[in-house]
Structure 1
Amino acid sequence: MDTENGSADLYSHLGDYNVLSLTAPFSPERYIDAIRDCENAGMEAIIIDSISHEWDGKGGCLEIVDQLGGKFQNWAQVTPRHQSFIEAIVTSSCHIITTVRRKQDYDMTKDDKGRVQVQKAGLKEITREGFEYELTANIEMDTRHNATASKDRTGLFMGKPAFIPSEQTGELIREWCESGIDIEQETKSAIAKLANCASIDELKELKATLSPLVHQHPDFMKAAKTRYAEVQKQVATIE
């Protein structure tokens, strides 16, 4: 999904891929429709280059708020639309990679004489604050194309030296994506193990050994709550 004036064509030497060009207005709904079009076309992976226009582009969220009057209460109408855009990304059946523009950020401070000073405060992503919390991994690039992770649920990049992304990087991510577990089967197995837990400590130990996806599963949580109550009752009877 190209919002950068045809820049997707600059990477044609890397291999075959499809391009969906998205032009203004860059409303949340147009991004959502584009994601759905990719899904319906059978795409397995989507690169959105970039999401910044949805926030700060022509027809994006900031402009929509201005058109509504520019008042704080106008965000009550725009925030749900932006949230729907985020939900379309995180709930998509496709793997999604998003890029975001960055700009220099500044802080207003006072010196020891009370004079206001403007200081550089690093680079800031041009999208609504907090977007990276929705991501599995957030990779930041410097001007020399070196990448570091500011967030990484995969464990592939966090705390590692800066690197230049390559095909091997993509292969690592793909292998991680394909190394998942069968949640339903693992949940059934975990529920069966609950019956063998005779103490609260054993219940806690079982939970600690499970994948977070399993011990957050509604069926497991319901069964664990029931078994917890049973164990507490047994302990009280013995005492």
Structure 2
Amino acid sequence: MQLRQSERRKAKIKMALQGPSGGGKSYSALLLGKGLANGDLSKVAVIDTENGSADLYAHLGNYNVITLKPPFTPENYIKAIEVCENAGMEVIVIDSISHEWDELLDFHSKLAGNSFTNWAKVTPRQKAFIDKILQAKAHVIATMRTKQDYVLNQKDGKFVPEKVGLKSVQRDGVDYEFTLVFDIDIKHFAVSSKDRTGLFAGKPDFIIKESTGTEILDWCNSSEKPTKDKDFLSASRLTRDEIGLRDVMTRMQESNSIAELLTLFKMYPSLQQDLKPHYEARKAFLQKMSNPQNYSNNGKL
């Protein structure tokens, strides 16, 4: 037993994607996996319980697949994870873990005797499965389908039904076990519902790309705490496609000086027409909060 300083560079991300059928969880998980593996899909393994859906994206590259067939017991999932670990996989995508919970619910329903006390025969198996995910030697991306419903949204003056995801199909509270959880909607936009990395918390929804996985990998490998200045400079290297207008506007609202605000504004000349009203409003606010005489010439366009 040895005491050591915490080192985030030793971390392996354990994350989950949850959303309705058709939301793009499998595809998004593969893109994340590619980024986490530094672009080398041969180091990515998919544990596929979705009837061969993992092979639909073979055009992305030569990733590995384990096809898991019924019964979807926790023990079979654990064996599949161990196969991936022994093969030296750097990223394990489990698509999906909802089948495991369905299997345990079915097992519980068939037990004789008291329903409440019978959970004692289920919980240890569930715990062993979750512990295996958390203790895996690789990055793990688990997908969970959500129960679906339809809501009426107004579009072009008409109400049209739209599929939405509700509660994920897994044991209550399982999302608390993961470092990062993305909720993906039917239009493939993702937003973080839990984020211990601090990379995505409070950010607008976005489309998951390979660069998202690379960003998470950088966080895992970083041995120093990011500062606000470093975060700002890092953001300055992102392209318009990676940030998007909404994200730039959010960063402008977070600017604490007119110099920082002006630097951000000039960074995106193609967006300046849309950004100018927000620039002027934030500039006026910063001037009001400070001594106007000190900033009368700063940020002049």
Q: If the length of structure 1 is used for normalisation, what is the TM-score?
A: 0.66
SS of the counterpart of 1:76?
A: helix
For 1:55 and 1:139, the matched residues in 2 are separated by: 19
3-state DSSP class of the match of 1:147? strand
Of the three residues 62, 83, 93, the one matched with 1:16 is: 62
Number of the residue aligned with 1:175: 218
Matched AA of 1:163:
F
Q: How many Å separate the matches in 1 of 2:223 and 2:90? A: 17
**How many matched pairs?**
164
- Inter-partner Cα distance in structure 1 for 2:132 and 2:60: 27
Q: Does 1:124 align with 2:170?
A: no
**Is it true that 1:94 corresponds to 2:138 in the alignment?**
yes
Confirm or deny: 8 A CA contact 2:146 2:165 kept in the other structure: no
1:135 aligns with 2:178: yes
Aligned to 1:37: 83
**Does the C-alpha gap of structure 1 residues 21 and 180 become closer, same or farther in structure 2, counting only changes over 3 Å?**
farther
How many percent identity over aligned positions?
A: 57
More strand by share: 2
2:105 counterpart letter in structure 1:
L
Task: Report the 3-state secondary structure (helix = DSSP H, G, I; strand = E; otherwise coil) of the residue aligned with 2:48.
Answer: coil
Counting only pairs closer than 5 Å after superposition, residues 13-162 of structure 1 correspond to structure 2 as 13-56=59-102, 60-69=103-112, 71-104=115-148, 123-162=166-205
RMSD: 1.7
Using structure 2 for the length normalisation, give the TM-score: 0.53
1:134-171 CA deviation, whole Å, 9 max, x = no partner? 00100000110000000001111110010000111111
Does the 8 Å CA contact 2:97/2:143 hold for their aligned counterparts? Answer: yes
Farther off after superposition, 162-171 or 68-77: 68-77
For 1:11, the aligned partner's letter is Y
Q: Which has the higher contact order (CA 8 A, sep 6+)?
A: 2
Judge conservation of contact 2:165–2:185 (CA < 8 Å) in 1.
no
Shift of 1:122: 6.3
Partner SS, residue 100 of structure 1: strand
3-state SS of paired residue (1:20): strand
